[in-house]
Structures are given as structure tokens and as C-alpha cells.
Structure 1
Amino acid sequence: MSIDQNTGRPSFKFISTGEVGTPASPNGIAYVTPIDLDGDNIYDYAYAGDILGNVWRFNLLSSNSNDWTSQPQKLFTAPAIQPISTKIIVTRMEQNGTSGDVILNFGTGMRKEGYLGGKTTYATGQQSIYGIRDKTALAFSMVPGTTTPQVDRSRMQRQVVHDGGKQDQLSNMKVDWNTKSGWYLDLTRPTINGKVEYEQVIYNPYLERGKYLIANTFIDGSNPVLSCRTVQSSGYTYPFEATSGSGLRGFFDNNFTGSSYRKQLNAVGAPILLRTTDGKLLLLTKDNQGNPNLHEVYLPESSSIRRISWREIF
């Protein structure tokens, strides 16, 4: 959808990716992230993930919207059973003090609402959080028609979770951008009441200062017929450096030379960071009853990476 700046009239343009799925496994896109690369306050591209695990780039460079229907560029395909149902977060790498290539951060997972009394279900199989590099985004804006090779997961840096209780340690592996195309972290698969559940991302991640990625995950609970023990749904909050996928040191404990952790906050919905009048940084979450919770968190004070785009509101 676009809006005429003079009349305010909306117009709609349908752009097909060509991958519609099947009746048994339909495809679709839930969120689209537009970006402005050259700072003219006009969107150049839009990024989106679909239910089949594909990441797409749509070319919006032309002033003629009829040109937007040209074949979208597929940048990445996640492994089988890794749907992308949340927003892709877009930022830029920092290279020698200047804004460089585009990084796309997203998680996989999906919630399927139960209709007419049916049970709500979630994605099965291994789910992950990703950061992939769109290496030709800036060059692409100068040369319409340029194609980009797909990012291969085998050429991405693996980050891991070291199990350690309610504050699980995150790895801090560096990404060698000469040989790697991004990073990924495979989420956990806990066994609850004898059944394997799959930790996944069903809420939009949050980007702070164009550099720090915060993601809430979800793990379905269990209420088996043959057991008296009901386990409520749960989830973790992950702080990352968006570019490398390295766990963000000091986020929960203000120790920037120590280890980095995820924390089991059992948060529902997208995370939000707030700054108080006395300078404290608070993470706002809510529980599965809708009750808000505030957690004091910490970030390094310096940050030179800029937002991918902005808009002045009059």
C-alpha cells in the first residue's frame, strides 16, 4: 500500500513472489519492512519473510509502481519447517566508520490460531534466530536489475546457548565477514511432560540504537490428558549484537566484561525499551495474563550505528 502525499489517497499494489505453497502447506507474508538507503525519505526496498521460510527483497526504486511487480529477489531459504511469521529487522553494518552492508535479523516460528473450538498450535521442528547479510543492497540501489546470490546457512557463523538454568549463557563468536554471510542461533527443544516442545519466535524482535537486537521467544506449555501436572507456557528474552549475533554482555547485570545471557522472563509480545527521567533503562514486558512487568537493563553508552530510516512527524 502507498499513500499519495498530496491527496492522502491510498493505493494498493499486489506483488507475487511466485511461491504460493499448497493447500496442505499454504504460503503467506505477515510483515513487510521498507527501507530508505540513500536518505531521500523515499523507500528503496522492502524486505519480508514468508511461511515457507524464504526471505525476499522487493525493488521499489522506480517512481512508476507498475515496475515494482518485477520478480522479487529471494535472499535466503531457511531449513524445512522454519516459518517466518514476524517482522524482519533491518540495520546496517559499521565498516571503518561508515554505514556498510545491510543486515537482516529475524526469528522463525509460527502460532496458528484454533478456530471453532480448535486448539492453537505452534510450529514444530528446530527453530532459529538469524542475521543475514545483504551484501549488494547498496550497489543494487545504483544498478537496477543486479541480482544477489542466496545466502547459504552452511556459510553462516553458528552461535549457541550454553545451558545454565534461568540465565543461560550465550556465545560470543566473531563473524569473519570475508568467509561468512551472517550468523544463526538454533533455539532449544525442551522435553515437557514427555513431549518435545520447540522454542520459537512468534513476536516481533526489537532494535535499539540501530545495533542491539532484543527478542522474546515462546515455548508452549503442556497439559496432557494422562497427567495431573500442567506446565504453563514459557519463554526467554535474548539480547544480541545485531550484526554478529554475539550475546550482549551486561544487558541484565551491568557487567560489560562478564558473560552474556538469555533470561527466562516468560514474556508475551514484543519487547520494548524505555528510558526514565532519571536515566534508567527499563525493559517492558507482559505476562500471559496481560500484566506489565518492568526490568532494569543496561546497554553500552556509545553507539555509532544509525537508524536505517526516519520520518519527521508534523
Structure 2
Amino acid sequence: SDDINSRTPASRQVVTYDSVAGKSINFDWNSLNTAQKNDLRTDGTGSTDTEASGMARLGYIRGDRNCEINSTGGTCLYPASGKDVNGQVFSSTSLRKRNSALGDIVHSGPFFVGPPGTSYPDTIEPTAPYSTFAIANKTRAGMTYVGSNDGMLHALDENGNEVFAYIPGSLFSTVAGEGLHYLSDPTYIHRYYVDLSPTVQDAYINIGGTPAWHSILIGGLRGGGKGLFAIDVTDPSALASAAASKVLWEFTDNNLGYTFSDISIGKMNNGTWAAIFGNGYNSDPNGDGHAKLFILPLDGTSPVIIDTSVGNIANTDCNDPGSDCNGLAAPRLVDLNGDGIIDRIYAGDLFGNLWAFDVSNALAAGWAPAYGTDPLFQACSATPCTSSNRQPITMEPDIEFHPTQSSNSTAPNQLVFFGTGQYLTQQDNADKAQQSFYGVWDSGGTGDLNRDALVSQTITTTLDASLGNVRTTTQNPVVYSSTTKGWLIDFPTLSGGALSGERSVTRPSALGSIVFFNTMTPTISSSDLCSVGGSGWLMAVDLLTGGQPALIPIDADNNGVFDANDKLGSAIVVGTQTGGGGVPSESRFISNKRVTTDSSGGLQVDNVQTGPAKLPARMSWSELDAP
């Protein structure tokens, strides 16, 4: 933030998108369209203010501090003349006082991009080997991309200096309490703007009539709005000099809601490279309330939308008592034959359905849910499934090829790992419904599986004098067959049998013979999700059974040795409680370390072991599961 605060507003490279003209533009007054100017001219009551006030708000967003409350600067610095076309001057120190011109960064994780390093085979684009692109860019300067709630995606060089910033065009709004004008409102109450973590992936696409390899950034708003954008970040030097020309497109759709999950990128069987994502939540007022999978070509051509047809909306409002709106969470991409091309996609929805999508056809018209109108699995706390016992899936699942089942008769032989629960709104804090973690075998045939096809494992929580609060689990055998399709773990109840509200809302990691996953139990009652309190568990169970593993997965006493001290008697510890007083985020794995941050700002580093497979040195958001 030091660099941004020390810059003059006019010196910053800031661009936005004109949805009317369908192109990116510089974020300056003369480049904006009428609707965008009207947003900046809107005052705190929703009325249209003078053009000079709009120019002042634009300068404020670019970093001008002169017109903030208690400022002694006088006339706003941007534009330099301080006057609009009518000669009006905005010199009032009435705009919201900030601690920094850089907004807060909450859910958007920074994404570092260095030289190309994706493990694509050269055969994925035979006429343009990926290795040639990687070699040509091997000295590419590193850049970090992150969204913030000042309305911008920021691009920072290796010294932390801002190279450019992008304001999504979908943020403009004249509604009181929304839009860019609200950022300068003295009555401002925190809201999200560019709050989704960006994703960057190399892809072979046609830009300007010439197919070539590019590094493409996909960003979004998370709770800040309903839309995505794409920027070509192949050449950092071009971003510094001509950032507007590198914005490829913005995307919205009637059935696109708030996308809370990261976007995946990959090559499809029809030859296109695409961004793949679920439609998210609250796709109103113009959507149909269904859960849908979007496959959006990176060249900006029309998307393929696969409709599950599950969900409904009444009176164009997902909050209407007659509505039962659904939404699809982040998908997991699977390459079944090792050619680097996506063949199958898995994603869960708010109704507890875990969908398998078959995208192996060379024609997009042949892409569809693998089991017709049925999901692969329905997650419910009891059978039969009802609207009152279904368990929402809001995380991206993880996938592994089944290590003991490889028959063609049970293809595709994927083990799908996912937890249930929801943490999207303040109201979710009080939700105490029973949630679970699942390992489900996709063995072809018919879908529509439920918990009756799974073996249940039971968690026991113990307060140990040496280890603190730890967990063990049963070792019930799981014999995979035509009737047994995996395992489940119901999260424990409190003393006396009361439900705790424990849930799993972050992506698990299947590594070696172990599945690692985290759970959370929020406790805060305030309206600020940013400061959530609570507790959580860091779990590690056997991949095939969900029970106690054959090896010790967690160094529970943190002494660097996996031994009898990491057991309770003969029972191996499979879960440790977070020690920072907050709920855990998704863990990252580096060498033999599991690294987890929590909502209190704590950082927990644990020693882990996984068995046969090696832990990755780096995990990508858009990683394909392949044999």
C-alpha cells in the first residue's frame, strides 16, 4: 500500500470496461460512458450530483486524498484543473476518510505468476508446442495479482509496486449503497467489491486473429457482484504501458449468481480452451434458480451451459418463500486418459447433489450430466433425502483414481471426496444441521447414490493431557462392490447429543493414501464475517475407508517424529484442533508440511505423511486430476 499511497492519482495505470461499447477503457472522466459517469455523480441519497462531484469521486478512487473529511488539501487533485466542463469546482472535504487508498483484502488470495511452468505435454497443441512458449518466457518478470475492496484488481511487481489496476465494469451502479460512488460515501458500511481470488493459467487461444499461447487471468467479484473478467497477462511490460488493450472480456449471464469459488481453466474435447465454473448463488432476478455448469471459451465466444434443471425461483426472487433456488459450486476437472484434456467434471450444489458431468464428446452438444437427470450422489443426513435433511455442498471436491478398482466395467473409477455445509451468509453462523464428509466411488452404471451405499465411520474426540484435543476414528472395512460405493463420516455431536454446527467448506486434499480435510464451527454473532470466531479441526483419514489409516498421518505432538506418541493407546490420531482461536482456511502442502491459516490471523504448520505418493511442491487451483 505504500507505493499506491505515494503515487499521484494521474500517475496510476487504471483501466475499466465499457459494457456498452464492449471494450476496455482508461479509467478517466472523458473515457467513461454516461451510465458510468452517473454512478460517480450519485450522492449518498441516490440523487444525481454535479459533474464536478463525479470527477472528484473518480479521483478519490484513483487515490486522491485531498477531498477526504478532515483533509487540508483543498481542491481535489484529479483532474488537475479541478473543474468540470461547466467550470464547476469540487473543493469540499466531504468524501469518506480512509486510512489508505488501497482497500481491504479479505477473501481474494494473491496469485503469483512467474515464468510459464504448467506441465502440459507438447502434444496438447501439436502445431504449437507448449515448451516453446515456456522457453521464450523463461525470464518473464514475476507479478502478483490480488483483488481488493476498493473496486480494483491490483497487479504488483516483484517489489510490491503497482503496475496497473483494473476496475470491473459490472461494479458500476447508481443504486444507493452500491456502485463505485459508495466507496467515497461518509456513511459507508463495508461491502465487497473485487473479492474473488484471481486464477492465472496458460492457454492456447485466438486473440486478434492469431492463435498462440497466452497466460490468461480470470477474476471475479465473489460477494461483490455477479460477473467475471479476463485479462491477458502474458507480458508484464505490456500491462505497464497498454493495460487497456489486454482486457479480453467481461461476462455476465441471467443465471450467473455470486461466484464464491475459484475458476478453473482447461482444454475441452472440442478443441477450445475455456474457463469452467459453477453458476454460484442467488441467480436472481432473471435466472431460473437451477444449478448450472458454465464452460466459457477464453476467446470470448458463447458459453456452453449445462443445466441440471434442479432448483426453482418464484417471483424473480430467491428469497421469496416460494423459491428454492439452487446453485453449483466450484468444479473439479478430470483428465481420464492422460492427454491433458478434460473428460469429466465434478461439482456439488446447494441441494446436496454431487454431479458428474461427461464432457468427453468431441462435440459440445454431447456434454451433459453423466447420469441424465440424476446426480452421482445425494448428500443428506438421513434417507430418504428431503428438503429438510439435504446437506449443501459449497466446496470444490478432490478426486483420485481408485487405487484398487480399474475394471472397464466400473469406469471411470473415480473416488470423489467432499464435505458438506454452508458458510456464505451471516445467517449460516447459527446453522446447526448435521453435516458430513464423504468418499464416493464413481463406478459408472447408474447414479443417484445415497448414504445407504456407504460405510459409516465414527469420530471420537478426546482431551489428552499431552496432545490436547485430538480425534480418532473407527476402522470399519469398506469392500467396494455393486452395493458398496464408499464411506462417510458424520461430524460429532456435542455432549448430550446436541448438534454442534460443525461443517466442511474448504477443498480437501487427497495425497498418497490419506485424505486431508478441515472443518469449522463458527461462533460469532456479529454481522462481520471478516472477524469470524470459532474453532475447527484438521483431519487426515484413510483414502479408501475414511477410517484410521495404516500409517500415522499427523505428527500430533509436533516433535518431528511419527511414533507411538502420536497415538491414543493403539488408536492413531486423525484430527487435531486449530490452536489459533479461529476457523481454518484450506490447508496448503509443501514437502512434508501442512500449512493452515485461520480467521484469527494464526498460522499453523504441521508435519504430515501420506504414504506412497509424494506431496507436491506446488499445487495449482486449476490442476487437472490425471492418471
- What TM-score results when the alignment is normalised by the length of structure 2? 0.41
Measure the CA separation in 1 of the matches of 2:339 and 2:517.
30
Deviation at 1:68, TM superposition (A): 1.7
Residues 75 and 223 of structure 1, relative CA distance in 2, 3 Å threshold: closer
Give yes or no for contact 1:190–1:198 (8 Å, CA) kept in 2.
no
Deviation at 1:37, TM superposition (A): 0.7
1:273 aligns with 589
2:451 aligns with 153
SS at match of 1:154: helix
Cα deviation 1:82-127 (Å, max 9, x = unaligned): 100001111111228999721111000001224xxxx563643110
AA partner of residue 403 (structure 2) = E
AA partner of residue 37 (structure 1) = L
Residues 310 and 36 of structure 1, relative CA distance in 2, 3 Å threshold: closer
Deviation at 1:27, TM superposition (A): 0.7
Measure the CA separation in 2 of the matches of 1:47 and 1:104.
8
Measure the CA separation in 2 of the matches of 1:198 and 1:13.
37
SS at match of 1:203: coil
Measure the CA separation in 2 of the matches of 1:36 and 1:223.
43
Which of 571, 581, 593 is the equivalent residue of 1:259? 571
Within 5 Å, give how 1:224-243 maps onto structure 2. 232-243=533-544
Deviation at 1:154, TM superposition (A): 1.2
Measure the CA separation in 2 of the matches of 1:151 and 1:88.
17
The alignment status of 1:198 with 2:501, answered yes or no, reads yes
AA partner of residue 40 (structure 1) = D
SS at match of 1:148: coil
Aligned length: 282
The alignment status of 1:103 with 2:103, answered yes or no, reads no
2:485 aligns with 181
1:112 aligns with 424
SS at match of 1:238: strand
SS at match of 2:366: helix
Give yes or no for contact 1:93–1:103 (8 Å, CA) kept in 2.
yes
Deviation at 1:191, TM superposition (A): 6.7
Measure the CA separation in 2 of the matches of 1:4 and 1:218.
36
Which of 351, 364, 371 is the equivalent residue of 1:52? 351
1:142 aligns with none
Give yes or no for contact 1:88–1:106 (8 Å, CA) kept in 2.
yes
1:9 aligns with 299
RMSD: 3.4
Measure the CA separation in 1 of the matches of 2:624 and 2:204.
22
Residues 97 and 4 of structure 1, relative CA distance in 2, 3 Å threshold: closer
The alignment status of 1:25 with 2:324, answered yes or no, reads yes
1:228 aligns with none
Measure the CA separation in 2 of the matches of 1:66 and 1:27.
24
Give yes or no for contact 2:399–2:625 (8 Å, CA) kept in 1.
no
Larger mean CA deviation between 182-191 and 95-104 belongs to 95-104
Measure the CA separation in 1 of the matches of 2:484 and 2:571.
24
Measure the CA separation in 2 of the matches of 1:90 and 1:214.
12
Residues 37 and 290 of structure 1, relative CA distance in 2, 3 Å threshold: same
Measure the CA separation in 2 of the matches of 1:83 and 1:97.
30
Which of 19, 37, 41 is the equivalent residue of 2:340? 41
Deviation at 1:274, TM superposition (A): 1.2
Residues 78 and 88 of structure 1, relative CA distance in 2, 3 Å threshold: same
Which of 217, 226, 230 is the equivalent residue of 2:519? 217
AA partner of residue 522 (structure 2) = D
AA partner of residue 240 (structure 1) = V
The alignment status of 1:128 with 2:418, answered yes or no, reads no
2:392 aligns with 83
Deviation at 1:16, TM superposition (A): 0.6
1:227 aligns with none
SS at match of 2:522: coil
SS at match of 1:66: helix
Measure the CA separation in 1 of the matches of 2:588 and 2:406.
28
Deviation at 1:242, TM superposition (A): 2.0
Greater percentage in strand: 1
AA partner of residue 264 (structure 1) = Q
Residues 174 and 203 of structure 1, relative CA distance in 2, 3 Å threshold: same
Measure the CA separation in 2 of the matches of 1:299 and 1:56.
28
The alignment status of 1:295 with 2:606, answered yes or no, reads yes
Q: Which runs of 5+ in 2 are unaligned?
A: 1-200, 207-297, 381-388, 464-468, 527-531, 556-561, 615-622
Measure the CA separation in 1 of the matches of 2:354 and 2:525.
35
Residues 111 and 283 of structure 1, relative CA distance in 2, 3 Å threshold: same
Larger mean CA deviation between 54-63 and 148-157 belongs to 148-157
Residues 127 and 27 of structure 1, relative CA distance in 2, 3 Å threshold: same
Measure the CA separation in 2 of the matches of 1:149 and 1:155.
11
1:65 aligns with 364
Measure the CA separation in 2 of the matches of 1:74 and 1:156.
16
* 4+ aligned runs moved over 4 Å, structure 1: 69-73, 96-100
Give yes or no for contact 1:90–1:308 (8 Å, CA) kept in 2.
no
Measure the CA separation in 1 of the matches of 2:604 and 2:461.
25
Which of 93, 115, 136 is the equivalent residue of 2:402? 93
Larger mean CA deviation between 250-259 and 125-134 belongs to 250-259
Greater percentage in helix: 2
Cα deviation 1:261-292 (Å, max 9, x = unaligned): 211125521011111xxxxx211011212332
AA partner of residue 31 (structure 1) = A
Measure the CA separation in 2 of the matches of 1:112 and 1:155.
30
1:139 aligns with none
AA partner of residue 106 (structure 1) = F
Larger mean CA deviation between 239-248 and 180-189 belongs to 239-248
Measure the CA separation in 2 of the matches of 1:10 and 1:207.
34
Give yes or no for contact 2:535–2:577 (8 Å, CA) kept in 1.
yes
